[in-house]
Structure 1
Amino acid sequence: MTSPPDVSVVIAAYNAMPYLVKCVESVLEQSIGVERLEIIAVDDGSTDGTGEELDRFAARCPTMRVIHQENSGGPAQPRNVGLDLATGRYVFFLDADDWLGTEALERMVATADANGSDVVLGKMVGVGGRTVPVSMFRRNQPRTTVFDSNVYWALGPTKLFRRTLLEDLGLRFDPRLTVGQDQPFTATAYLNASVVSVVADYDCYYAVRRDDGGNNTSRPDGALRRLPFLRAVFDLLTREVEAGPKRDRLLRRHFQSDQREFLTHLLAETDPEQRAAVFEEFRGFVRAWCTEEVQRGMPAADRLRLWLIRSGRLDETLEVMRHTLEDRATPTVVEKGRVYGAYPYFRDPDVSAPDEVFDITGELAVRHHLSEVSWSGSRLRLRGHAAVDRLGGLDDGSELVLRERESGAEHRLPVTRTAAEPDAPRTGGEDAPAGFTAVVDPARAAAGAPLPRGLWDVFLNVVVRGVAKEARIGSQRSPEVPAGRQHRVVRPLDGLVTTYYTNPHGNLTLDVGGVKHPPPAAEVTAARWAPQERATLLLSGSVDVVGPLRLRATDGDGRTVDLPVETAEDGSFTCALRLGDEEVLPFGTWSLALRPDAEGAAAPLLALQGTLPAAGRRWWRRARPVYAKVRGTRKEVLLTVAPVHLGAAVRRAVGLR
């Protein structure tokens, strides 16, 4: 029995020349192999040679099939025709204007097979000025849902779907919807998917903006044509998702993104009666489903428009939309720690919109950059610059905030404002951001006491003109700032303090006590006997730890001895073991390690390792011959100190052994 193809690629095509050529070629060149695909192209009554070009491709590709039909008026019906004929394990809907990255289908199928995915999103790229969703493609997401990621903000059908999911749901595109028919289709698949995956580390889908505007649905009746699909998705969400934060999250996408699209098209409506009627129907959607919880977190311009819609103010709503589309300057008003955008009708007594809908405080981004992250002794020094968009550089009173990730405990440290650095970028048209320095002393950062064990994330609380904005810092830093982990010995702490940058966001964190980063091993690069001191062993090497260390020797009986070590800022160390004195290291076989020279008893051990040839020496201790031998492996360094057995020594001397 012949195995089904991995993917059925469905292409609905209407007057798609010349874009169609690259579209189909990109499918034929897929790294997964054309033999693992079936290509179903549906010519929806094209008149520009699209049908003939599809036939030419099919003539040389045995896995490609072309269906010709009369024009249906939209992509829904031809996509359904392709879906009805599909036999692949997965289905991918490809618009005839667009094209695929060479490895797109191979990567998406591999992701789906590895994770049991029902829907896989491949990273999208806009071509020719085409706008595409981006927020869900910041990192790979092997297993997610619409409630745990931003995938719901990508409701187009150009994704990989498990065909059995679509068949079990009886899911098809609604041909009665002349625009937006993809939204109810994709939303239904998302809500019923066991696993949704995102491939973000490869450019999978290239969405093309046509020079002739052929993929632009702007028409005088564009707002009217959007009402049916909006009604369909609102009905779907209220039917399929229980009222509460999850439903609010999905509704927010429509009342933010689709509200903007709807009003943009409503501005183009020339019939005043139709404009008023369409506005009134959309107002009904807002009154029924757009609660305060749905609006929470939206930009002020969206909240203002939705308030005006709910109030039935058509002309004012369109004026605010016009203000947005024309990218007009919006002055700011700062009062009592809040910032307001003076959009049209701000504090207009005839409109009486509340100040809350103009509040842009939550929208203002903190711009920050670290120029230095360095240790001086046991203190960490930070230097950089910061500003708040549209307000300017940080003022006195700004603070560094250390917040423990698990418990939420926090400690605030002062920040010193300095002159702006010459290369500091300007933000929001304001003056260059101010510079700052801050010092973190882990031994005293907890209100004068040592920082407890934990992961302490670093934030900057930027105060500008009485407005406080907090931001995680570290992701923006100079090339001179060390990118790797830095381990530091801080005497009052039991363990090490490790600075590192989180993955994938690259933010600065202090690991106190090895919560996430165990102590690194130390490498012994040389072991030699001192030429002038017969019983002195010299060890040298390197370790990725800076600060005072001790050499810890442990024998099989649990005895421990700590010996002095000399360390340098570059992580190199040396140790002179003067073994002539019995009190330094008694007889026995000792395993060697390094230990932070900290005050606590629970300081971690740093394993000592290094491939060393066995090196031995004899000397006299209290009129008795003694020998010592050091040997090293990739796992440990051992030192044996023991008396010489005289009988064995004599036999060796006369050649009997």
Structure 2
Amino acid sequence: MSDPYLTEIGWTGSALRLAGRLEHRGTPRLELLLRERGGEAVVRVPATARTDGPHVAFEARIDVAAVAGGAPLPGGVWDAGLSVDSADAVPLARAPGLDASPQRGFLDGGTTVAAYISPLGTLAIDVGGRTHPAGSVRADGLRWDERTEHVEVSGRLDVAGLATPISATLHLRERRGRAYEVICMLDDRPEGLHYTAVLPVTRTFIDEPLPRGTWEVWLRLGFSGMHRELRVLAPAEPVDVRVWRRLWHVRIASTAAPDPLTITVGRA
């Protein structure tokens, strides 16, 4: 493995300790760089090095509570890389066998910080746990349940090599700013993590049914102190039904592949 790779990741208080190795002749000058994802900020952290045969062992300590000029690392996602002899930073991968589960810490005031291995296999740090976009996922099925008068949305997530989400919700956003959310059921199967959400559109015992409007559909996933959001893409077969709701008929219709999934509740 020629690129730098991590052999240890762990928290001591508010400090994230990293240890790793890289192939290099002699003892290089090392510096850890944290780059703000989606922004321009860069935070530099000293790293120490010692030769170990044909390899160099390195260590770095990131005090998230005071790393940015004595101030806490700002909220957001930060990608970590290692600069060798002042060259451009190389992303930090993990050694085979190193636990890829998110490592969670806390700052004063309860702010969550999570060090995790990104889908690209490199180290990133999430400060604050805010919801961040993470691409899209296609729904495998969209079904009208005539007995319960619910719309069922189901699909599969490929989480190979990633931490398994511990929670999932289907988040619908209406174009005028309203939001509607239902909890997804998760089922870990050999072929991937399956999710299923049920949207009440005519009646419900607990919450109001999905209001009238045109609703964009998103899948929100919760990990260890982190939240990611994927735009749900429509399956091949749409839903298009007319049902009685309260005092009049309404039409429930959806988009079909290849478009993003949108569900409309309106007059029949």
Alignment TM class, shorter chain as reference: 0.5 to 0.7
Does the 8 Å contact 1:528/1:615 carry over to 2? Answer: yes
1:459 paired with 2:93, answer: no
1:522 is aligned, of 106, 129, 137, to 137
Q: Do structure 1's residue 641 and structure 2's residue 265 form an aligned pair?
A: yes
Picking from 406, 409, 422, the partner of 2:43 is 409
Q: Distance in 2 between matches of 1:555 and 1:628?
A: 14
> 1:142-193, CA deviations, whole angstroms, 9 ceiling, x for partnerless residues?
xxxxxxxxxxxxxxxxxxxxxxxxxxxxxxxxxxxxxxxxxxxxxxxxxxxx
**Cα distance change on mapping 1:539 and 1:520 into 2, 3 Å:** same
Contact 1:550 1:563 in 2 (8 A): yes
Cα distance between partner residues in 2 of 1:573 and 1:407? 36
Cα pair distance change 1:439/1:553, threshold 3 Å: farther
Secondary structure of the corresponding residue to residue 255 of structure 2: strand
Change in 2 beyond 3 A, CA 1:572/1:520? farther
Compare relative contact order (CA 8 Å, sep 6+) and give the higher one, 1 or 2: 2
2:178 aligned to which of 559, 562, 565? 559
Query: How far 1:614 moved relative to its partner?
Result: 2.5
Give the alignment of 1:606-625 within 5 angstroms.
606-617=230-241, 620-622=244-246, 625=249
Quick one: distance in 2 between partners of 1:565 and 1:637? 16
| Distance change >3 Å, CA 567–CA 427, structure 1 → 2 | farther
> Residues of 2 paired with 1:566 and 1:450: CA distance?
35
AA paired with 1:590? W
Confirm or deny: 8 A CA contact 1:521 1:606 kept in the other structure: yes
Q: Tell me the amino acid that sits aligned with residue 254 of structure 2.
A: V
Quick one: which amino acid aligns to residue 262 of structure 2? L
The 8 Å contact of residues 369 and 473 in structure 1, kept in 2 or not, is answered as no
Alignment partner of 2:237: what SS? strand
Q: CA-to-partner distance for each residue in 1:429-465, whole Å, 9 max, x for gaps?
A: xxx87798x999xxx944495643465333399xxxx
- Judge conservation of contact 2:217–2:261 (CA < 8 Å) in 1: yes
2:53 corresponds, among 414, 424, 427, to 427
Is the 1:369–1:386 contact (alpha carbons within 8 Å) kept by the matching residues of 2?
A: yes
CA drift at 1:538: 1.8
Alpha carbons of structure 1 residues 526 and 450: separation in structure 2 relative to 1, 3 Å: farther
Q: Structure 1 residue aligned with 2:124, among 500, 510, 516?
A: 510
Rounded Cα–Cα distance in structure 2 between residues aligned with 1:606 and 1:636: 11
Distance 1:458 1:562, change over 3 A: same
Kept in 2, the 8 Å contact 1:550–1:565? The answer is yes
- In structure 2, what is the equivalent of residue 587 of structure 1? 212
Tell me the TM-score normalised to structure 1 length. 0.26
How much has 1:540 moved relative to structure 2? 1.5
CA distance in 1, matches of 2:231, 2:194: 15
Q: Structure 2: how far apart are the matches of 1:585 and 1:367?
A: 51
Residues of 2 paired with 1:500 and 1:555: CA distance? 30
- Deviation of 1:520 after TM superposition, in Å, equals 0.6
From 147, 150, 154, the counterpart of 1:536? 150
2:106 is aligned to none
Contact 1:555–1:588 (CA under 8 A) maintained in structure 2: yes
1:526 shift after superposition: 0.9
Name the aligned partner's letter for residue 536 of structure 1. Answer: H
8 A contact 1:372–1:480 mirrored in 2: no
Offset, 1:620:
4.8
Shift of 1:637: 1.2
Could you tell me how far 1:587 is from its partner in structure 2?
Answer: 2.2
CA contact (8 A) 2:133 2:229 kept: no
Count of matched residue positions in the alignment of Structure 1 and Structure 2 = 218
Classify 1:369/1:614 alpha carbon distance in 2 versus 1 (closer, same or farther; 3 Å): closer
Could you tell me which amino acid in structure 2 is paired with residue 403 of structure 1?
A: L
Residues 1:479 and 1:367: Cα distance change in structure 2 (over 3 Å): closer
Tell me the SS of whatever aligns to 1:583: coil
CA distance in 1, matches of 2:64, 2:186: 25
Identify if the C-alpha distance between structure 1 residues 563 and 499 changes in structure 2 by more than 3 Å, giving closer, same or farther: same
Which one of 118, 126, 133 corresponds to residue 499 of structure 1? 118
Cα separation, partners in 2 of 1:508 and 1:592, compared to 1, 3 Å = closer
Aligned partners of 1:611 and 1:633 also within 8 Å = yes
Superposed displacement of residue 371, structure 1:
5.8
Q: Which amino acid aligns with 2:235?
A: T
Higher strand share: 2
Going by fraction, where is helix more abundant, 1 or 2? 1
1:127-276 counterparts in 2 under 5 A?
A: none
Q: For 1:386 and 1:556, how far apart are their aligned partners in 2?
A: 50
Q: State the structure with more CA Rg.
A: 1
Counterpart-to-counterpart distance in 2, 1:367 and 1:638 = 43
What do the CA deviations read for 1:394-414 (whole angstroms, capped 9, x no partner)? xxxxx994533744424689x
Q: Is the 8 A contact 2:133 2:230 kept in 1?
A: no
Q: 1:498/1:616 Cα in 2 relative to 1: closer, same or farther (>3 Å)?
A: farther
1:96-123 residue CA offsets vs partner (Å, 9 max, x unmatched): xxxxxxxxxxxxxxxxxxxxxxxxxxxx
Q: CA separation in 2, counterparts of 1:510 and 1:460?
A: 16
Give the TM-score taking structure 2 as reference length.
Answer: 0.53
| Secondary structure, counterpart of 1:612 in structure 2 | coil
CA distance in structure 1 between the aligned counterparts of 2:3 and 2:264, rounded to whole angstroms: 59
Matches within 5 A, 1:319-330: none
Q: How does 1:224-373 map to 2 (within 5 A)?
A: 368-370=4-6
CA deviation map 1:297-324 (0-9, x unaligned): xxxxxxxxxxxxxxxxxxxxxxxxxxxx
Determine if the alignment matches structure 1 residue 631 to structure 2 residue 255.
Answer: yes
Structure 1 residue 575 corresponds to structure 2 residue 197? yes
